[in-house]
A and B are shown apart, each in its own frame.
Chain A
């Protein structure tokens, strides 16, 4: 039913780990006893047909599901061995360490600068704000395009630029983990390519979990791939193996495009 490959996590253990994680929306079970580990500084792709629970699973890692009325989580989600759903954990604090980029670019109706500075400001950042904004925009490969127009509205940017702005905004909070829910699905091929290059750059410093519907994209950018089907984790392992030599029949059918 489920195949999970041995994954090297090194001395410090995995950055993220779920154990028997289930998520319910009221009575419906959207994630069904999922257990897997995300090594530090790696890119993990979550793939699977629409409605299989990818976004729901992803949103467990920064407790975004808390915002959904009627959502309930069972099992454990650990960040460096700390249970994120323990009663002592503050979800606001979690989100400062585990950032998120959404499917549709969602900049605030503020200037480009203020978008990036938003996170640091609410976190009482005391350092050099200009430097942080510039560094974040540089990391998001957007600096050269916006350096002369930082005070313009974020909505004056193209969709692809907006998405990179959202990435910069997330980076400005200096998280360790980036969660990305189909970050390129609303973008054209060129903008998509830029985001992919960016992810490739970012994985040197960040642990990244990304949901994607694009098989080629998953194959290009991820180190590990998790295939989900109807809330269950069907197969999880090195991306190469999942795409070229899947052990589960359903995985093979999905990655070769025979269903979903």
Chain B
């Protein structure tokens, strides 16, 4: 009695159906992305046919709605970077320290409590963060620094910082956990203390993942919209003073989209030019973080 090794028709059909369905899903999301980029690019091209790209990238005044229009995006970019930088100052140290604590120090029970708490931080709607900044953090800031504007970059930085802590801590924690136990044992075997094992072996070995988590978190902060629109204000302002009111790229987009800018006008197209800039910035950061991860992944076998 021979063994039947021939292809079964029904199985082949099923396999190919599943394959097609999966392909369709993948193709759909790719197409959506492509579509978004195409729309962004088309309107941006139209925008740059009227405004010089050099003026756009180097101008220090952003006054698209004024009689005499200025399209220098630097105030918006600086606003975004001010908020993101401040958020990074808060989130990176806290995030990496909590990651080290969770991966190297916390017992199973503490982890079971702390990790969900951190996840909740990520799950709070960003509009809530915005109001928290405006009604709680800004008053505090004004107590300490009486000249602080009602809308200011610092309050936005602080809440965006809180918001991105989970990104840093959970991605960094994954990177720390991926460091093989054998490396830790080697260090302990040489008479290293727990702190030395963590800081001199585990963190350096996980550095690529940690840096990638930093970049991803910062790119989230740059793209953050709701909280900064509420807390940081709508005043394009080329400044490094976090206590002043500023406008981020995202906040401008919100402001312009809500207004009654007629379609096809130059003012309308600024939306897309700013959107494109934002998209390229976050895309760039994501690519760098992917590259860092891939480039340094094989550090340990």
Contacts and interface: CB of A to CB of B under 8 A. Distances in A.
Nearest to B180: A106
Contacts, number: 64
B49 interface: no
Interface in A58-114: 62, 64, 67, 92-93, 95-96, 99-100, 102, 104, 106-110
Contacts of B191: 92-93, 95-96, 119, 122-123, 173
Interface string B176-195: 00001011111111111100
B299 A109 contact: yes
B190 A109 contact: no
Contact of A104 (B182, B190, B196): B182
Interface residues of B, number: 21
- How many chain A residues sit at the interface, stated as a range, is 20 to 34
A93 B192 CA distance: 9
Nearest to B296: A109
Given A118-B200, A155-B301, A106 B205 contact: no
A95 B263 CA distance: 73
A232 interface: no
Given A104-B182, A108-B205, A155-B301, A64 B200 contact: no
A30 interface: no
A166 B196 contact: no
A102 B189 contact: yes
A64 B188 contact: yes
B190 A119 contact: yes
B59 interface: no
Dominant secondary structure of chain B at its interface with chain A? helix
A170 B185 CA distance: 12
Contacts of A67: 184-185, 188
Nearest to B184: A67
B186 A99 contact: no
Contact of A92 (B180, B183, B193, B200): B193
A67 B180 CA distance: 14
Contacts of A62: 189
Interface in A130-179: 155, 166, 169-170, 173
B182 A118 contact: no
A193 B211 CA distance: 42
Contacts of B180: 106
B190 A106 contact: no
A190 B52 CA distance: 70
B127 interface: no
A106 B192 contact: no
B300 interface: yes
B196 A102 contact: no
A250 to B, nearest CB: 31
Contacts of B183: 106, 108-109
Contacts of B299: 109
A169 B185 contact: no
B49 to A, nearest CB: 51
A116 to B, nearest CB: 10
B176 to A, nearest CB: 14
A95 B190 CA distance: 6
Interface of B: 180, 182-193, 196, 200-201, 204-205, 299-301
Given A106-B183, A109-B299, 7 more contacts: A93-B191, A102-B185, A107-B186, A108-B183, A109-B300, A122-B190, A155-B300
18 contacts: A64-B185, A92-B193, A99-B190, A100-B185, A102-B186, A106-B183, A106-B186, A108-B183, A108-B187, A109-B205, A118-B187, A119-B191, A122-B190, A122-B192, A122-B196, A155-B300, A170-B189, A170-B190
